[in-house]
Amino acid sequence: MQQMYMTWWGSKHPDAYYESDTHYSSVKKSDLSSLLIPMRASPELFISATFILSLAILVLGLPASLMHGDSLHSSVASITCLDDFEAIYGFNKAIEKNEFYDFGRNRGSRPESIFAAKTEASHRVKKKKVVSPALTSTRVATYKPVIDKHVGILLARLRSRLKVSLDGKNNGTTVVNMAPIVHQFALDTMLELVFGPSLAQHPYTETPAGEGVCSNLRTMTKMAWSFSLWPVFGWLMNTRPVDAMLRRPTYSKQGVLTGMAGLMGVAMPKLLRNPQQVVASPQPSIVKGWLEVPPDDANRMTPAELASESSNMIIAGPGSTAAALTAVIFHLGTKEGQIWQQRTRDQVRASKSHDLWPSSPELQAVIKETLRLTAPFPTAFPRVIRPGAETAIPSLPAPLPVGTMVSANTFVLGRSRELWGNDADEWKPRRWLGSEQHRREMETKFVAFSKGSRSCVGRELAVLVLAQAVIGIIQQWRFRSQGELRGKSFLEMQYDECWIEFEPLDLSLSA
């Protein structure tokens, strides 16, 4: 429910609060009930509950309340102002990240990843090391054969599921839950894109070591975000006894260490200790790009940085990619979406160059509209006001004290009627089509990958994976969505159910 919040203690200005289209409350210690106000719904109930709990603890007991008075000014607002979003996440060097991005761990125990870099200067250094050798547009284009390979595996898995259905083992239907299949595809694809073929000769999730890794990764992601939302919980869960219990190893029938313990504890370290395995491969990969930076280059990563950045990509990439692709498939299967299925299919067939397929205007419109309406990260990533940014957020009537935590929500902005019109809650890819000028204007409102220098460094790679997977599926089947798209949000969306009924375009495929 919480779209944006700002809190500060004992403001001397009676008008120092954020006025919005929702609610404002001035909270006394003796009246916490005013926190329990109706708010615009979004997939953040867990976050709001944590925030209110933390707020209650602060109001009741934090010494700062005695120093500055007994009022806490708090706003929980729906931010529909793009200027505010750009001020928070754009190029303002005095609005920085905080310990939220440490996931409850001691920062001194490992290098900061690009995702956790607190200052603009630190992020700039990290970005040169991460993006330039491995994630430029030119470099991303070289990964297409790897993506196509995994799209082929995705299609083979889907055919296998459909064959089971047609054989009568699933009530004779051709309905498949795409959510777990897509997540498996996203993880296998990302692992090979990051580490190359040396990690496994087959898709990693199909190896003995990959048993249970998909569910383990989802659990790890939930816990990581929970640590950030509730730092005390993060500290507790990272104490040695609890950490040892959570990291209790699991083994396959062959005696191979499985799950995330097998991946993070065995496979990745082995690979990083023997970088020649990665560099020697003719197949491009992200880690190979990093390792090919000359040793005397300032942008060369240390082994610890390699481990940190590659781990960051494995934790952050597959889940959001799976959420996006699952949502795209679901929307394409709706009544409106089936029209766009055919339009995209026709445009792909009409194109003479396979390289142009991912950039099809219809396909890009489908992807962007889905990301707008069903954001993979549908929540608010916090930033902290540092000296010099007190008046940086343009819509506020008064300066914010240094240390104020601020955030703006992609889910809310993606459904803002001020930005997208009265049909903002509807899935309409055609809004992305039109003149070049119109498309540029639309792009300025698009925040699914954030904005500014800290926008998602994997945007081009993610869009390419989405496009290739969608192209592969629509060339094989017509499909219809059944029921609703169901899942849970822990900052990152995790879908559990996406039931799709498939009809092969070529009748021979049903044999």
> Sheet harboring 23-28: ordered strands across?
4-9, 71-77, 23-28
Q: What are the backbone dihedrals phi and psi of residue 452, each rounded to the nearest 5 degrees, phi first?
A: 75, -160
Alpha-carbon span 492 to 228, nearest angstrom? 13
Q: Kindly list the distances between the CA atom of residue 149 and the CA atoms of 145, 192, 329, 509, in Å, as whole numbers in the listed order.
A: 6, 10, 19, 19
Handedness of CA 283, 285, 288, 294 (dihedral sign): positive
Q: Which H helix or E strand runs over 96? A: strand 95-96
Dist. CA 221–CA 310, nearest whole Å = 15
Backbone angles phi, psi at 251, to 5 degrees: -130, 150
| DSSP H or E run through 401 | none
Find all residues with CB under 8 Å of 237, minimum gap 6, and list them: 104, 223, 227, 243, 246
Selection from 183, 215, 221 nearest residue 316 by Cα: 221
Element (H, E) at 268: helix 268-273
Residue 192 to residue 202: CA distance in whole angstroms: 10
Sequence-ordered alpha helix ranges (H) in 82-143: 82-89, 120-130, 137-141
Amino acid at 9: W
Beta strand 383-385 with 95-96 is antiparallel
* Start-to-end CA span in the chain (Å): 48
Consult the annotation and say whether 498 binds a ligand: no
CB 326 within 8 A of CB 488: no
Please, how many CA atoms are within 13 Å of residue 136, restricted to the half-sphere of its CB?
8
Q: Which residue positions form the known binding site?
A: 456
Q: Which residue positions form the known binding site for heme?
A: 456
